[in-house]
Structure 1
Amino acid sequence: MLQAIGLTSTPRHDRPPAVDDLTFEARPGAVTALLGPPGAGKTTALRLMLELEPGRGMTYFRGRPLHRLAHPPREVGVLLGDIPGHPSRTLRGQLRMLCAATGVPVSRAEELTRAVGLDGLQRRRIGTLPIGADRRLGLASALLGEPHTLLLDEPGAGLSVPEGAWLYELLRAHADGGGTVLYTTGDPKDAARNADRVVTLDRGRLVADQDVAEFARTRMRPRVAVRTPQAARLAAVVAQEARAARRPVEVVAEDGNRLSVYGSDCAAVGDTAFRHGVPIHRLAAETGGGPAPRAPEGAEAGAGPVARAPEGAAPGEPGAGRRAEGLPGATDGRGGGTRRPARSPLRPLRYEIHRLLGVPSTPLVVAAVLLGSVVLALLLGRGGRAALPAVLAGWPAISPLPPAALGAGLLGAFSFGEEYRYPALTTGRGAVPRRPGLLLAKLAVAAAVALVLGAAVVVVDLEVLRFVYGAELITVPSNWPTLCVSWLGLIVGCAWAGVLGAGVFRAAAAGVAAVLAVPVAFVPLLQKLLTGPSVRSVAGLPARLREFAGPQWSPAADRWLAGALRVLGQPAGVALSLMLTGLLCAYVFTGLRRKARW
């Protein structure tokens, strides 16, 4: 049972709200159509139900509002607008990533691929799918969590007649299994043909809430559909006889040799055609051709029962213990309803790995970094004047960062930037949920990729230099541990700056800008500050710390601490630490402000 109570969107720019005090219900075991012309507020109503749009009102899904559901994707399946997903991701990769977000086994993706008729297209990229397959993928995404309720926005838009018939058969099967289906449409004939109940909107307000039979009788004009090779002649004689008999009959010429006759029946039209010798190829009674006159302002023609809050429950509390036996995600009202929704992936680490490996940008960036580092290392090593660490990193003096740091920052920026550009998590509040689990997963995966990339660059550059210039000329320096820590810290810091920058400003370009701001803006400023006469050296800090630490540590620990402090004391290390701290604080602040706004 879906109950929408008093849904009202927030007005914008002194305009009336797109949805105004909308109240209705969609029952389980039935298909409900939300009908209205373009601009009637159908999509806004769905977004209000999903808490994606600011406004007032409440929507109950089997007695619970969305924010009280433990696992929304397992209760509500959603298809809004275009199919979410990176156009370069394969169909299989997209569904597997969403399996990790929904918390269902990967086998569910293969099962739904077969169920929606996408066999053989698993390796096709989303951007190359035809619109029929595109819609099937969207429906498969909505069904991943085996939800009880389906909310679909214009699911049949752009589909051919056979594809549309298949779609509505699938929705009917879901309803027959006890589920709730609510979809929007702008076509009255579509609603009359495929729905059990029709909720009609106009300018954001409820016009009618009716059973489909009553809707067809009161809101649709009955007609006689005729196909004849002499359409013009038949139209003339039908209109002539109607005028003679003073009957209100209207004849409308359709495309080709078809007519629609309003105000008559099949027998009368057939008799007229027989008397005048007009051959008839098709003669059928239909409902369609436009709605009946609008109900008076403030009245609800044939309004059905008004949705109510569950009896005996306070607003926001579960219903009276109703349980849908055997349905996925069903609850019995005895606990579990007060948990916060899983607005981020239920398996965030697996989700992030699928996201990273599912697009071609990842291997392209890695290949470009390795190739650029090798070329720069060979050029720097040829002169023999550059220091070996700079040669191995492929870091010329004119570049603000080495290729590895830029690549790690770019991959980190993509981890959030692509989430905002191609949203996949749409059943929570907003396209990209700000949850600690998802952030930690992105930071962990970005750090792992950065470490692998940094180590690979050094190893590949070292081997290429030894191969080209000879092994005896390229020796490993004695302070290699400190150099490695500095190098890997720089790479990981750039990756995290890209993640947080894109997460705060919701764009991959902002993540890249955050990475470049460290060497371009912060490091020169800190160098001026740290070279002043009042700055004290950190050389004796380990000894001073030992005085307050109590137990004495070993000389080896002393050396490691001194090395770590030297690394952190570098201007780049200080600037990167400050940048990451600032971005993390901004990320937390914007997340809290966004929650308060909702």
Structure 2
Amino acid sequence: MLQAIGLTSFPRRQLPPAVDDLTFEAGSGQVTALLGAPGSGKTTALRLMLELEPGRGVTYLRGRPLHRVAHPAREVGVLLGDVPGHPARTARGQLRMLCAAAGVPAARADDMLELVGLAGLGDQRLGTFSLGMDRRLGLASALLGDPHTLLLDEPAEGLSPRENSWLYGLLRGHAAQGGTVLYTTSEAKEAARTADRVVTIEGGRLVADQEAVEFARTRLRPRVAVRTPHAARLGALVSKEARAAQRSVEVVAEDGNRLSVYGSDCAQIGETAFRHGILVHQLADEIGDTGPAPAVKPPRAPAGARTPTTAPGPPRQPLRPARSPLRPLRYELRRLLGTRTTFLIAAAVLAVSVTLSVLLARTVGTPLPSMLAAWPDILPLPPAAFGAGLLGALAFGDEFRYPALASARGTVPRRLGLLLAKLAVSAATALLLALLVAVADAEALHLVYGRDLLQVPGKWPSLVASWVGLAVGCAWAGLLGAGVFRATAAGVAAVLAVPVVVAPAVQKLVLAPSARSVAGLPGRLRELVWLEWPYELDRWLLATMRLMAQPVGAALALSLSALLCAYLFVGLRRRVRW
């Protein structure tokens, strides 16, 4: 059972709240429709239930608020709008990535594709899906964790009658197994036909909470809508004439100067008004929702006025932080390998590196490390390092552009598990790309110029360490830059800023007269700390510090430190705000 108690959204720009003290229940084994006209607050109400919108009130899912549910994907399935997946990802790849996020077996993806009728379209790209196929995939995503409760926002909007029938048949089947289904709609006839209970709201406030049979009987009857400045007088005259003629006529006074007359027609009402000289502004036959019940509502605050808060009001509803994947490493691998972008970037890097390496070998005096890295002096970074940085930037950039972890929030969680998984996968990708580039360049040089050109350098360990550190550092700079500024372009800018901006500044500091040499650093560290370490480690420590003392290495270290601190600061600030 779902219980929404006192849901109230915070007003924005001095406007009244979109949802105001909304309280209702959606029972287990039932399909409940949340009915309202566009702009009545239906979507905001769902977001308040999911703790995605700031406000007050509480929503209990089988007796527990959502922020106290350990695994929300296994308790509630959500469909808010379209599926926000990468258009180049396949339907099966999208669901398997979400399986890793929900902590369910990957085989569940194929089961859900078969359940929603997409078994033969698992390898089709999301960008080619029609609206009906997208809704089917959205339902499959909502059902991945086998949730008890389904919350769906306008699931049938724009669907054909056949797809409509299939959709509500699936929802009815979920409810028949004991689940709770709550969906929003603006069609009164659809709510009466497909739901067991209809909750009607207008202006964010509860209007009626009825069984579907009662709703259809009392609010879907044919009626005559009348607007007149003399509504009370006309209503009394219509009722008097109906009693005299022994006709069953019901007159309901709505808000303002509106009447709803049941059991009559426009001709009879018009003749009554004409005989008694009553001015009529509207006279029309209607079938559908009648709007708000004839109850006294508190006046709305005008624009520009502050809405007073009642005391004691409903409890403040905490914003639920977006959940990290339960299996972050598996999630990140499927995200990386689920589109062609990764392979296209790797292929482009290899092609450019081989071409530059062969061209650099024609230049007299070019050192072998520069040829193997395909790094001419005119480029700020070698292609492999830039490609690693671009893949790192896409790791967070695609998350913010096509959010999968928190589709309703439009952002990704800043959790340590997801960050570590992205750092590990981006580092492994950078190492693999750097290795492939070095091997491909060496083979290209061997094929074009022969084996005599390839001589193993004497300081190959330090060169390898520098190459690895450059590739991994660029990948992490792109990853953290995109994570802080929520855009792939920001991650790429962070990568390019290392050799263009930070490295020259570091070089000036290194060459300054006050700069000290790292030659005696191990000895100075022994004097400062009380721990003793083997003297064999001094050589490795000195080599590491020499690498860090290089302008690019020091620039990477400074940039990574600043980006990591910024990432943690932004994540901590958002968590405090929640």
TM-score, normalization: structure 1? 0.81
1:296 to 291, 294, 297: 294
- Spell out, residue by residue over 1:339-377, the C-alpha distance to the aligned partner (whole angstroms, 9 max, x if none): x98811110000000000001110011011111111111
Superposed displacement of residue 101, structure 1: 0.5
- Distance (whole Å) between structure 2 residues aligned to residue 425 and residue 552 of structure 1: 45
> Aligned AA for 1:367?
A
Q: Aligned pair 1:99/2:99, yes or no?
A: yes
- Distance (whole Å) between structure 1 residues aligned to residue 65 and residue 136 of structure 2: 28
- Spell out, residue by residue over 1:12-38, the C-alpha distance to the aligned partner (whole angstroms, 9 max, x if none): 222222111111111111001111111
Partner of 2:139: 139
Matches within 5 A, 1:8-407: 8-222=8-222, 263=263, 289-292=287-290, 294-298=292-296, 343-407=323-387
Superposed displacement of residue 565, structure 1: 1.2
Partner of 2:480: 500
Q: In 1, are the aligned partners of 2:336 and 2:342 still within 8 Å (CA)?
A: yes
Q: In 2, are the aligned partners of 1:408 and 1:453 still within 8 Å (CA)?
A: yes
Partner of 1:435: 415
Partner of 2:502: 522
- Distance (whole Å) between structure 2 residues aligned to residue 391 and residue 449 of structure 1: 22
- Spell out, residue by residue over 1:70-90, the C-alpha distance to the aligned partner (whole angstroms, 9 max, x if none): 000000100001112101000
Q: In 2, are the aligned partners of 1:189 and 1:288 still within 8 Å (CA)?
A: no
- Distance (whole Å) between structure 2 residues aligned to residue 70 and residue 476 of structure 1: 56
Superposed displacement of residue 385, structure 1: 2.2
Superposed displacement of residue 514, structure 1: 1.0
- Distance (whole Å) between structure 2 residues aligned to residue 155 and residue 89 of structure 1: 22
Q: In 2, are the aligned partners of 1:71 and 1:341 still within 8 Å (CA)?
A: no
- Spell out, residue by residue over 1:59-113, the C-alpha distance to the aligned partner (whole angstroms, 9 max, x if none): 1111111111000000010000111210100011001001101111111111111
Q: Secondary structure of the equivalent of 2:119?
A: coil
- Distance (whole Å) between structure 2 residues aligned to residue 131 and residue 526 of structure 1: 54
Distance 1:502-1:489 versus aligned 2 partners, 3 A rule: same
Distance 1:18-1:375 versus aligned 2 partners, 3 A rule: same
2:553 to 562, 573, 577: 573
> Aligned AA for 1:376?
L
Partner of 2:539: 559
2:403 to 406, 409, 423: 423
- Distance (whole Å) between structure 2 residues aligned to residue 455 and residue 552 of structure 1: 33
Distance 1:423-1:341 versus aligned 2 partners, 3 A rule: closer
Distance 1:402-1:549 versus aligned 2 partners, 3 A rule: farther
Q: Secondary structure of the equivalent of 1:157?
A: coil
- Distance (whole Å) between structure 2 residues aligned to residue 580 and residue 406 of structure 1: 15
Q: Secondary structure of the equivalent of 2:135?
A: helix
- Which shifted more, 386-395 or 353-362? 386-395
Partner of 2:516: 536
- Distance (whole Å) between structure 1 residues aligned to residue 556 and residue 291 of structure 2: 67
- Distance (whole Å) between structure 1 residues aligned to residue 379 and residue 168 of structure 2: 59
Partner of 1:232: none
- Distance (whole Å) between structure 2 residues aligned to residue 296 and residue 175 of structure 1: 33
Distance 1:71-1:550 versus aligned 2 partners, 3 A rule: closer
Q: Secondary structure of the equivalent of 1:20?
A: coil
- Distance (whole Å) between structure 2 residues aligned to residue 36 and residue 341 of structure 1: 29
Q: In 2, are the aligned partners of 1:34 and 1:198 still within 8 Å (CA)?
A: yes
Superposed displacement of residue 388, structure 1: 1.6
TM-score, normalization: structure 2? 0.84
Superposed displacement of residue 143, structure 1: 0.1
- Distance (whole Å) between structure 1 residues aligned to residue 246 and residue 54 of structure 2: 55
- Distance (whole Å) between structure 2 residues aligned to residue 248 and residue 509 of structure 1: 70
The RMSD of aligned alpha carbons is 2.7
Superposed displacement of residue 298, structure 1: 3.7
Structure 2, unmatched stretches of 5+, are 224-241, 250-261, 266-284, 299-313
Structure 1, unmatched stretches of 5+, are 224-241, 250-261, 266-286, 301-313, 318-339
Q: Secondary structure of the equivalent of 2:6?
A: strand
- Distance (whole Å) between structure 2 residues aligned to residue 368 and residue 402 of structure 1: 13
Partner of 1:278: none
- Distance (whole Å) between structure 2 residues aligned to residue 368 and residue 50 of structure 1: 43
Q: In 2, are the aligned partners of 1:26 and 1:180 still within 8 Å (CA)?
A: yes
- Which shifted more, 443-452 or 572-581? 572-581
Q: Aligned pair 1:487/2:467, yes or no?
A: yes
Partner of 1:283: none
- Distance (whole Å) between structure 2 residues aligned to residue 596 and residue 171 of structure 1: 38
Superposed displacement of residue 288, structure 1: 8.3
> Aligned AA for 1:395?
W
- Spell out, residue by residue over 1:287-325, the C-alpha distance to the aligned partner (whole angstroms, 9 max, x if none): 98322253235469xxxxxxxxxxxxx9899xxxxxxxx
Q: In 2, are the aligned partners of 1:90 and 1:126 still within 8 Å (CA)?
A: yes
Superposed displacement of residue 264, structure 1: 7.6
- Distance (whole Å) between structure 1 residues aligned to residue 439 and residue 179 of structure 2: 57
> Aligned AA for 1:11?
P
- Distance (whole Å) between structure 1 residues aligned to residue 43 and residue 533 of structure 2: 68
Superposed displacement of residue 495, structure 1: 0.7
- Distance (whole Å) between structure 1 residues aligned to residue 518 and residue 472 of structure 2: 24
Q: Secondary structure of the equivalent of 2:438?
A: helix
Q: In 1, are the aligned partners of 2:148 and 2:180 still within 8 Å (CA)?
A: yes
- Distance (whole Å) between structure 2 residues aligned to residue 316 and residue 581 of structure 1: 37
Q: Secondary structure of the equivalent of 1:215?
A: helix
Distance 1:52-1:315 versus aligned 2 partners, 3 A rule: closer
